[in-house]
Structures are given as C-alpha cells and as structure tokens.
Structure 1
Amino acid sequence: MDAGGFQAQSDEAVSYIAADRLRLTSSSCAELLPIAAINDHFLPAWQKLARNASEPNIFYEHWMLRPALKLFYTHSDLRLFLLWAGVPHKSDLLGLLPVGPSWQLGRWPVPFVQNWAHHNSFLGTPLVRSGFENQFWAALLTTLDDQSWQGFLHIRGLTIGGPLDQALRSVCAGEKRRCDLVHSEARALLESHLDAESYYTANVRSKKRKELRRQAKRLGEMGEVRFSCHRDDTGLNDWIDDFLTLERAGWKGQQGSALDCSDDTRSFFGEALTGAAHYGQLERHDLRLDGKPLAMLVNFRSPPGSFSFKTAFDDAYSRFSPGVLLQLENLKMLDQPDCDWMDSCAAEDHPMIDSLWSGRRHIGRFSVQLKGLSRSAIFRGVRLGEELMARIKRREITDIMQAEK
C-alpha cells in the first residue's frame, strides 16, 4: 500500500475512533501482563486481533512470539502490553506489544523502555485492531507514564508512513510529547498491480533476464529441475531438516549465524513453521535438482500482507544462481488475490533482492518522551547526544569527500 493508501485508511480510522470514543474510553482496559502469565486462554482473542490488525506483523502473532519468548533471552520485567475492549481476557483484544525496561542504548548506559525483539525478528510494529490506532498509543503512553520504569519509550522496527506511525505522531502532538524519528532504513518490498510476468519484465533488465534463462537451461541439462510450493504441513519435518542442513552448509554456517548453529534458533525455526502451518500462514518454496535441494525459501502470510522470512541456497551451484531462480517463482505472490505485498525482511541495499524488487518499505526507530522531570531530562540528554554525534558524522563524511576531490 502506498502512502496515499495509508493516509486514506488513517482518515477512516480517525472517524471511527471519534464515533466510539466515549464508549471505549469508559470500557476499555489496559494491562501489563507478565510473560510468565501468558497462557492459551486468550489465544482466540490474540488470533482475532492479528486477523483484524491495522498493519500485519507476523513477528508478534502468537505462534511466532510465544516460542521466541520461551527460547530467547528475556528479563523478569518484560511485559505484554494488552489493550482490551472491556474486561481483560473476556472481551476483544484491541492491541498488543511486548515491552519492558532496558539499560543500554548503543554504547550509552541509560535507562529507557522499548518493544521487545530478537535477532530473527524483523518488524516491531504493534498488533492493533484497525480503527483503534490512536487509542492504543494513548493507552500505552498513559500506562508507561504511571510505571516506575525510567527514561523514554523507544519503538524500533515501526513501519514509516503507516497508520500506526501516523497515529503515534498525532497522539504525541496532542499530548505535547516529543516523538522523534531517530533512524530509518529502506528495504525491498514486492508490491504491484502488475502480474508476476509483467512485473519481472518491467523491473529486470533484458540482459539480466537473458542470463537467468541461460543459467536455468544449463541447470536443466544436469538433471530434473523441479520447483515446489507448499502451504500445508505435508512433509514439513523433513523439509525443515533439509532447510537447516542447506543453510548451515553455506556462508551462514561458516560464520556461526545459521539457524542450526544453536539449539534455541533451531527449535524456534521448527516451532514457528509448525505453528504457521497449523494456522494456514506458512508458504514454502524450494528448487531441487534430482530431488536435491539447491534453494529453499520460507514465507509467512498474514493477508493482506506477507513476509519473506528466510532463504538458503547451495553455494556449490552458485554459478546457476539457484536463489535468484527461486525468487522468480516467488514473484507469483503478485498473482495471489488475498495478498497485496510482501516484505523482504532483508537488510537495506541487499544486492540480490533489491535487483528484483523495485518497491521499498521504510522502517524506523522512534524515541518518545514520557512524563516526569527525570524522564524528560534523560530524553533530552540522549537526543542531544544523538544529534551531536550525527553532526560529527556528517562533518567527517564531508571532510572525506572533499579530501578525495
């Protein structure tokens, strides 16, 4: 969805909130639930929230977040912020965000509050029911104002330009809180009104297309090449094992960052894929030569969006670009009627996916002022330091450019 579409959706949300403000203000209830208290009882409400979210985020859906909280480091003060339409755990869930105190911002030992994430979590946008974006932020900020946690609120991984970004800025402006975008990056996004074939032709130069056709032909001369796509749990355990083996055999395994290099990440991957398959949100692609996997890809679906989570390929066949050939199959997402876009979850300026996908999704980190003299002082001090460091960095870049002339 483009910025104009986000704006239109946000305008509708504001009208919806205005109509129901009095009823919801008197009946809604905010809660900071300890992580240890999360149980199966409110999973239906959590699932319903995810299906009606203003902005999809599979990383905060229960089948993804719960195994992450179980397997990765958390501290005792971490909480799950929940906004209920009425009585907690007995009414609809309007918003959800894991949040807690932190004490190290980069190289600076300062207290602050932030949304929780881990190394395999690529988006921090809260799950908020469409139409309740303003109420969610207002409730979260009021709740944090009343907590003993020090510092400011730091939201990382928020989609820039979306309804939740707009609502956050609007609420902060109305409450006279500073809300600063402190960092942003752009990553590849697959989104178009074109079909897959037309998109490929429009966005990949003819010389590159010719080279990929040549590579596919040469690969086909070596044996039977087969592309597969699965959206259920057929052969899932074996598929997971194949993916983990393939990824570990490559550069990630050499660097120790492959999922199979750690018991926790291995278990997390398996549980996340199994949970997604159970709820019909898993999509698996692979390219095989005589049954041997050369490239594999994991997508998670959360209509109207989707997320390309992990990919792996066989380095021994890199001359055939198996990962790119599989991504060409992935373009068929554009032909799916229930998904409008796919987030690459890739790093900014990724050399492979950026050359295939022309769209960009902007993701940012925001620092938000909380009420209280000491909190305001910490916020102002940190922001002053960040702005000073940014000026020094810009000056150093300018000096280098002038020296190279």
Structure 2
Amino acid sequence: MSGLQKLEGKDIRANRFREGLSAPEFRAVLHPVAEMDANLIEAWSELARQAREPNIFYEQWFLRPALDQFDHHPELRLFLLWAGEPGHSQLLGLLPIGPDNRFGRWPVPHVQNWMHHNCFLGTPLVRKGSEQVFWEQLLTALDLSAWPGFLHINGMTIGGPLDQALRVVCGDQKRRCDLVHSEARALLQSDLASEAYYEATVRTKKRKDLRRQAKRLSEQGDVTYAHHIDAMGLDQWLDEFLQLEKAGWKGENGSALDCTPETSAFFRQAVAGAAAAGQLERRDIRLDGKPLAMLVNFLSSDGGFGFKTAFDEEYSRFSPGVLLQIDNLKFLDQPVIDWIDSCAAQDHPMIDSIWSDRRHIGRFSIELKGMSRRAVFRGVRLGEALMGKIRGRAIFDPTEVQQ
C-alpha cells in the first residue's frame, strides 16, 4: 500500500493546539477531487470569506469547473486542514495538490499545487491565524506520502502572510525553502479617488491623446459605458464576450476561450458561479449597442482580480480597451475594495502604464524528508543555479529589499 493510499480518506492528527482554534486536534486530509459533498462546499465557501489572502482561483465556484473541464493527474487531491472532525468543524486551509512528472523542461517527478492556463494565482486558501499550522500539517502530510521529489508552490504572492509563514516553518524545521522565480504584475491600490489617481499616474500627453480618441469615438455614434454587478442578461453578455475575444488575435492563434469547448464551458460556469456568489463585476463599452470592449472582474473579501478583457480590433485606433481600463479605475471609489490584481503578465504594455503599483508573484521549491527526495531537490536546485548563471538571470526577492 502506498503512502498516499495510507493517508487517503484518513487524517493526520496534530498534538499541538493553537490559541483561537475550536478544537484541540487538527485533522489534515488528502481528499479526492471527485468527492465533494454539500458540507465540504459550505465549509470551503466560508473559508474563502475568512481567508488571510483572498484567492478566487481556489474558491469552489472557480476551481470546481476547472477540475471538471481540464485534464489533471489522477492522483490530484485537495489538501484540507480541519480544526477538528473532518466535515464537522471549521475548515482552516485548502490547496489542490498532486504529483507532476515534469519540472519545466526536465523529467523530474515532484509534488505541486495545481494550476491551469486560466489560473493566475496559486496562494493557498488559509483562515486568518492558521498560516503556520497550515504549512506544518501540509509538509507533514507530504513527508508521510509516497509522492516523489520535492514540493513546488507555483504562483504564490511574495512577501504576503502565507509566504512569511512558510519561511518561518521551514526555518524552524531546518528545511530548505527557495524562491526560484519571481515576477511583478500591475496592481491597482491607492487612497486616491479614481480621477486623482488617473491624473497622478498617466502622463499629461497620454491623457490628452486618450481624450482625443474618446472624442473621435463618440463621433462614430452613440457610445455607452456599462457596469454590471448582477446576472441580468449574463448569458447574452457572455456570448458577446466570447465572440469578441475570438474575433481578435487570440482567435487567430487558438488561445481564445471559445477555441475549445472545454475552456468555453469553464468560462461560462465560473462566471455564472461568481455571479451566484455575488463576486462578479463586468464592464463594457458599446457603440450603437455593439460591444467594443468588455472585461470580467472577480471580487473576494477586500480585493479584486481582473480576469479577462476583450476588445474589437477593428476599432483599435480609438483604444477601446484602454478607455475601458480607465473606466475600471472606478474601483478606487468603492470603499469595500482595497486593491485589484491585474493578473496580467509582467511588463504588460497597456496595463502597466495605467496601474502604478506592482504585486510580486513567485515560485517556491521546498525540501521534503527522505534521502532520495533531498537528493532530487538539491540536484534540481544546482541545475537551476547553473542555468541562471549561464543566462545571467537573477531572482528578485522583494522581501530582502524590505528588510
């Protein structure tokens, strides 16, 4: 019987009790992704509302459609940390995790949190105050499992509470935890109102050009800006979004959501789930009723995530996508929202010129117990260090600058 089989359906009990938790024993479970009942979904949703770091990509209304539509390893599991009896106590943490046979271009088996092409953040969902015990119990579970290699956490916020807790736990356990890649992406966060932020961030010449483009666009017909926070007309809106995205360069290179039935179904299900949870926001610009630019934002706790944007490339001379992002700055006028993550690639030519703050996202590799695992980890890290020197690449760790 494998280590995974020994753990599956059972729990790992911790003898330690942290102040503020509702039971003296934590229970960690590697839960099959195909087995989700109503109790788990309810506990999962409640955990998301209390998460130390919001991450809509691991909320149940987003992750479940992804698991249904996209391929994943047959041994993929939900790591669940319960405050007491599984299914009958508070859920303290959740992370989709499983084995992977490749590490980048190398055929190196390891364990990794599950992400897909439309998942832009891999930070675990962890209840406030449970950050350290989450990592302690996850590492214990993986040490006891038969999964090979090391642990790789992809797409986690650098410098956040989960990163800090991971480094503390690994330091206490004399376990190597290396930041192996980092990138910075645009973040909208400011105490300024939207108009003041726009004037402070965007150059005067650029603002003048955009005013001219907006005026020229208005001369083409009736231009309207719309903001939706409910599900009214959602099916038709999604049809229009998918058609608009597919008509552009993403459709030409096969990366538009509507290019495959799996990504199209996933998108519809995830957006509908966000709407049902009250976590959807969408905006559009229309010319005589025809959509020129559309975007989808997801909300969670005090933050937001810019998920998808599409615009009509036939009207690119008017910059409808940029004009819509300027309208999107109205997030700053919402008192309940403190920030919004663009989820855009580093050095994005459009959003980086409008949003001045940056969010650092990284990949972490962590040692697991066992001589063979340690050897694999150190061999991979040596190889990465050599490749970094050859290519002249340095990994930026913003936590070192803060110190």
TM-score, structure 2 length as denominator?
0.92
C-alpha distance in 2 between matches for 1:358 and 1:333: 14
C-alpha distance in 1 between matches for 2:105 and 2:65: 29
Q: CA, structure 1 residues 22+209, in 2 after alignment: closer, same or farther (shift >3 Å)?
A: closer
C-alpha distance in 2 between matches for 1:292 and 1:30: 51
Give 1:339's aligned residue.
337
Task: Indicate the RMSD between aligned Cα atoms, in angstroms.
Answer: 1.3
Q: CA, structure 1 residues 62+374, in 2 after alignment: closer, same or farther (shift >3 Å)?
A: same
Give 1:12's aligned residue.
none
- Give the C-alpha shift of residue 20 in structure 1: 2.7
Give 1:170's aligned residue.
168
| Residues 62-97 of structure 1: per-residue CA shift (max 9 Å, x gap) | 000000001000121100000001100111100000
- Give the C-alpha shift of residue 341 in structure 1: 0.3
Give 1:300's aligned residue.
298
- Give the C-alpha shift of residue 22 in structure 1: 9.7
Give 1:6's aligned residue.
none
C-alpha distance in 1 between matches for 2:339 and 2:21: 35
> Identity, % of aligned pairs?
66
Give 1:84's aligned residue.
82
Give 1:354's aligned residue.
352
Give 1:326's aligned residue.
324
| Residues 104-123 of structure 1: per-residue CA shift (max 9 Å, x gap) | 11121111000001000000
- Give the C-alpha shift of residue 303 in structure 1: 2.1
Q: CA, structure 1 residues 22+91, in 2 after alignment: closer, same or farther (shift >3 Å)?
A: closer
Candidates 263, 277, 293, aligned match of 1:279: 277
Matched, 1:75 2:60: no
Q: CA, structure 1 residues 142+197, in 2 after alignment: closer, same or farther (shift >3 Å)?
A: same
Matched AA of 1:28: F
Candidates 40, 58, 61, aligned match of 1:42: 40
Equivalent residue runs for 1:174-323 within 5 Å: 174-323=172-321
- Give the C-alpha shift of residue 40 in structure 1: 2.7
Matched AA of 1:74: H
Choose between structure 1 and 2: higher helix proportion.
1
In structure 1, stretches of 5+ residues that fail to align are: 1-17, 396-405
Q: CA, structure 1 residues 367+330, in 2 after alignment: closer, same or farther (shift >3 Å)?
A: same
- Give the C-alpha shift of residue 257 in structure 1: 0.3
- Give the C-alpha shift of residue 25 in structure 1: 8.1
Q: CA, structure 1 residues 22+376, in 2 after alignment: closer, same or farther (shift >3 Å)?
A: farther
Give 2:91's aligned residue.
93
C-alpha distance in 2 between matches for 1:266 and 1:107: 28
Q: What secondary structure does 1:117 align onto?
A: coil
In structure 2, stretches of 5+ residues that fail to align are: 1-15, 394-403
Equivalent residue runs for 1:354-373 within 5 Å: 354-373=352-371
TM-score, structure 1 length as denominator?
0.92
Give 1:143's aligned residue.
141
C-alpha distance in 2 between matches for 1:336 and 1:303: 13
C-alpha distance in 1 between matches for 2:219 and 2:207: 19
Give 1:61's aligned residue.
59
Deviation larger for 94-103 or 105-114: 105-114
Q: CA, structure 1 residues 302+291, in 2 after alignment: closer, same or farther (shift >3 Å)?
A: same
| Residues 135-159 of structure 1: per-residue CA shift (max 9 Å, x gap) | 1000000000000011000000000
C-alpha distance in 2 between matches for 1:19 and 1:139: 12
- Give the C-alpha shift of residue 24 in structure 1: 6.9
Q: CA, structure 1 residues 216+71, in 2 after alignment: closer, same or farther (shift >3 Å)?
A: same
C-alpha distance in 1 between matches for 2:326 and 2:108: 46
| Residues 195-224 of structure 1: per-residue CA shift (max 9 Å, x gap) | 100000000011000110000011001111
Matched AA of 1:115: N
Candidates 377, 380, 383, aligned match of 1:382: 380
C-alpha distance in 1 between matches for 2:21 and 2:338: 33
Give 1:116's aligned residue.
114
| Residues 247-293 of structure 1: per-residue CA shift (max 9 Å, x gap) | 00000001110000000000000000100000100001000000000
C-alpha distance in 2 between matches for 1:380 and 1:132: 29
Matched AA of 2:262: D
Q: CA, structure 1 residues 296+23, in 2 after alignment: closer, same or farther (shift >3 Å)?
A: closer
Contact 2:227 2:283 in 1 (8 A): yes
